[in-house]
Every structure is written in structure tokens, then in C-alpha cells.
Structure 1
Amino acid sequence: MTQADHRFPLVRHVGLDGMLVTFSDQMTEPANRAALAFRGAVQAAGWSAVSETSTSLASAYLRFDPLRVPHSEIETRLRDLLGERNWYEASLPAGRRLWRVPTVYGTDLAPQLEDAAQAAGLSVEEAVNRLGQSRVRVLTIGFAPGQPYLGPLGAEFNIPRLKELTPMVPEGALVLAISQFVLFSGPTPTGWRHVGQTAFRCFRPEQDHAFPLNPGDEMLFESVSPAEFARIRRSATDGNGGAEVQEIPA
């Protein structure tokens, strides 16, 4: 699918009280940009009957009260808003943040780095250099509470999932497949390769804001030594795992 594919965007009904605007049938940077920007525009419009909005990799969803506004009117509003600009080239919403997260690549903390580097046709050193300098976007949050899908990574990292599950990786594991990272919010089995380990907590139920990340935020997983990582893990108590965070200018 390209943005010239005339099937998209699609506007569809979801259940009794939802609408879904889909910009692609696969994850691309322009489609994700469109979903994030369009959701931001819906929120900015302040439609009183809309109670919830969210995004997936390439779609924007809204939930509304059909007793206050009929489906036909919401659909008309959405189509009018779609016609206002080329959403695939729209600016991303304001309020985004950049997180610089200390990360150990490889070692016994992330034992599948070498396998991932080989699948990408790179040396381990070059893989670490490229991954550690890849500024990736929080494409969407899902599967587990607060858990981000991040990308896109370079085409060389469009590597398949493992054929067999790794029985368990820990909270803060950085895993890789199909030109994306996932940063795990809790211990879980996975078919993605465990290439890095962080002390970042994606789900913080004890805090007022349990999910620190928002779709559209950006992350850099900067390489640190195992000794520095051990120091960070001992001293970091706020859930950020030593991460530095800054606002991204609009």
C-alpha cells in the first residue's frame, strides 16, 4: 500500500458507538503519521459527543454517544475533516517528548543480539551502533498496559520473528522484529529477538500517570556498559531507568 492507494483512508463503523478511520493496511511512517495527526485534530475539534479517541499503527478510533449524535453525522464530520489536508504529510501533534533511555545491548542480559545482527547482515558492533542511534516513534501502545510499539527502524532490521517462543524475557526488555522495537512492560514470552535491556518501566500503577509514554513520543535507546546499567538499576527509583526526557518542539 502507498498513500496513493485510493482505498484509503477508509471510514468504518465499529460496533454501536465507534468509528474507525484507517490510513493503510500495513504500518508505514506516513500512515502512522496520518493516524496520529488525525486523532489530534479530532481531539482539537472538541466534539462534545466524543468520549474517547485512540490510535493503532495506521488507524484512528473514536467512541461517541449515538443517542446524542447519529452515526451519519459523525461520519460526515470525519469525512469533512479528512478532506481538509493531506494527513500523510501532516505535522505531528504538539506535546510530544523525546526519551533517551540507557540500554545494555547483548551480554547475558539481552542474549539474542548476535542472532539479530546476523539476520540483519551486520556485525554485532554495527548493529549496536545503528540501533543505539535510531530515533524511533511510539507508533502505538497496546498488547499489555503502557507497552509501546516503536519504529520504524531501518530496512536492514526487517527480520522475521523467531520460529519458537522465548519462554520469558523481563520487564524493560527491548525486543526486535519487522523493523520495529517493542519495550516490554512486564515479563512475557516472545517471538521477537531480545537485543537490549533497560530499567525503564512502561506501566507504573502506583503513580498518578500509570503510562509514561504517549503515541507520537520518540525514544533513543542509547548504549551503556553493563557496569553503568547496574549502577542505574540500583539508583533509579522513579521508573524512568535513568532516562532523560525533553519536550519536542512543535
Structure 2
Amino acid sequence: MDLFQPSPSAHPGPELPELLPLGPDGIVVRFGRVVSPQLSAAVLAFEQAVQENLPDGVTEVAPSLSSVLVRFDPARGRRDQVLTALRKLLGGVDWLAETLPPASRIWHVPVCFGADQAPDLKTFCQLAGLSSEQAIAQITQTPLRVLAIGFAPGQPYLGYLPPAWDIPRRAALTPQVPAGALVAALRQLVLFNHASPTGWFQIGETAFRPFQRDRTVPFALKSGDSVQFHAIGSAEYSALKNRSDGLGGARYEAGA
């Protein structure tokens, strides 16, 4: 029997996600192929369940937008044992009906929407059918969650914004957006930790750096954290950029 194929008789009820091998020490638990708020809730709920019931030998649990990567140390846990533990956690639960687990931390992050810091805001708003004021209000009034961290160290994918934000990527790349650029990407916001090319729309900028190598805690954000953005003016933004801690005025408080 294929270790990665669930047994229907062993798992009655909701269909299980796919269990896929990844190299000699990884298993990908894939909940779907089309990213959605429902899928993200399933991913974060399952990641929390694995973290709270960590199978023997597991060394890393990392969510993406549609799956959870589970890595294990082959010297401390066999693949079949880890698979059995994952199936036990998956079985009998309709993960796509799960709600987002409560955030353990709520981050408050200042962001500037000035013309120099949001060069694509006007164009994006025209495509989305929003005024700049409406777009900024939706960014700052919507509690966003860290759905995944990737592409670059510490870089968060934050969601979800209302359906009007479901705007496709631009036809041509912007050669470079600066570190701290906040870009709109299919109902999500992505916060660039370093300068980078992108096909998405830069609609704001923050002095917050989610990753800073020499900081006491280099990675500020964790998957599942809640992020609340707060609009600030250009003068305050300039002052925050000079802070050496890379937090740019961001702070967090305990959640649930």
C-alpha cells in the first residue's frame, strides 16, 4: 500500500488532504490548489494542531498558502510513523470547515500612504473601483493574518482584504520596489523586507522590517499572527526609518 494514500476504511467522514513526499525528510500536507480564505483557515488550524501534538522526530512545521510542510529527523522518527501521526490528526475533521484559530499576537504596524511611498495606489484603486480613501480605510480597518512567510527571509503574506482587491498581477515587472514596500497581491498584502522586483502594486511603505539578522529576535512575525496597519504621515515615517531596531514603530500585544 502506498504510504501517502489514505485508507478510505480507516478514515470515514470528510475527505483527507493530500499527503505528499518532499525529499528524504519532508511531508507536504496539501489542502487544495486554489488559495482562498477557507483554505488558509484550514492550513493555519492544522498547523496549530500539529504544533500542539508534535509527532516524534518532527523538527519543523511550516505553513504555506495552501499546504503545511512537516519536516522530521529520520534518526528520531520514521516516515511511516510521522505519516500515521499526521493521519490521526487529520482524520474525522472537516478541515475546510474550520475557522481561523485565534491569533496569539496582534501587531500594530505604522504605514505611510504618501505619493512617494504609494506610487501605484491611484492605478490600483482605478482597477479595483475604489477611491484612495476607501482603499486606505480598508487596509487599516481590516485585521489581517500572517498566512505564510516565504520568498525571502521573514517576508509575510497577509490576508484577506475584500473581494474588490482581487486584481491580477501587472503585465510588466517593476524593476525594484524598496525595502518596506507594501504591495497588493490578490486580496493579500505582501511586505517586502528587502528591495526587490515585483509584478504587484506598491500601495504603501513601512519602516518595519520583519527580518533583521542582528536583532535579538531576527524574525519578528510568526504564521497566524494578526497585523493591524495604522496610517502615518511622511514626516513620522521619515523619523521611524532612522530607528536602528528595524521595527519602525511596530509593536505587538498578546492576543487570545
The TM-score, its normalising length taken from structure 1, stands at 0.89
Q: What does residue 108 of structure 1 align with?
A: 116
Does residue 231 in structure 1 map to residue 243 in structure 2?
Answer: no
Q: CA deviation at 1:83?
A: 1.4
Deviations 1:2-39 (A, max 9, x none): xxxx7651112222221111112122222222222222
Q: Could you tell me which residue of structure 1 aligns to residue 31 of structure 2?
A: 23
Cα gap change, 1:120 to 1:90, in 2 (>3 Å):
same
**Corresponding position: 1:71 with 2:79:** yes
Larger mean CA deviation between 145-154 and 97-106 belongs to: 97-106
Q: Residues 76-225 of structure 1: matches in 2 within 5 Å?
A: 76-90=84-98, 96-225=104-233
Q: 2:243 aligned with 1:247, yes or no? A: no
Task: Assess, with a 3 A threshold, how the Cα gap between structure 1 residues 94 and 131 changes in structure 2: closer, same or farther.
Answer: closer
Secondary structure at 1:61 match in 2: strand
Are the counterparts in 2 of residues 106 and 114 from structure 1 also a CA contact under 8 Å? no
Task: Tell me whether 7-16 or 128-137 shows the greater mean CA deviation.
Answer: 7-16
Match of 2:42 in 1: 34
Q: Distance in 1 between matches of 2:165 and 2:103?
A: 29
Matched to 2:171, the amino acid is K
How big is each residue's C-alpha offset from its partner over 1:189-243, in whole Å with a ceiling of 9 and x where there is no partner?
1111010010001111002321100010111221112122223334x33222112
Q: Deviations over 1:121-176 (max 9, x none)?
A: 01122112212212111110000010001111110000011111111111111001
Shift in CA distance, 99/49, structure 1 to aligned 2, threshold 3 Å: same
**Post-superposition offset of 1:101:** 1.1
Distance 1:8 1:116, change over 3 A: farther
Q: Percent identity?
A: 42
Kept in 2, the 8 Å contact 1:8–1:24? The answer is: no
2:20 matched to 1:12? yes
| Equivalent residues, number | 243
Contact 1:136 1:219 in 2 (8 A): yes
Shift of 1:245: 1.2
6-15 or 45-54, which deviates more: 6-15
Kindly report the root-mean-square deviation, in angstroms, between the aligned alpha carbons of the 2 structures: 1.9
Deviation per CA, 1:70-126, whole angstroms, max 9, x where unpaired?
333322221111015333344655762111111111411221100111110011221
Amino acid at match of 2:50: V
SS state of the match for residue 47, structure 1?
coil
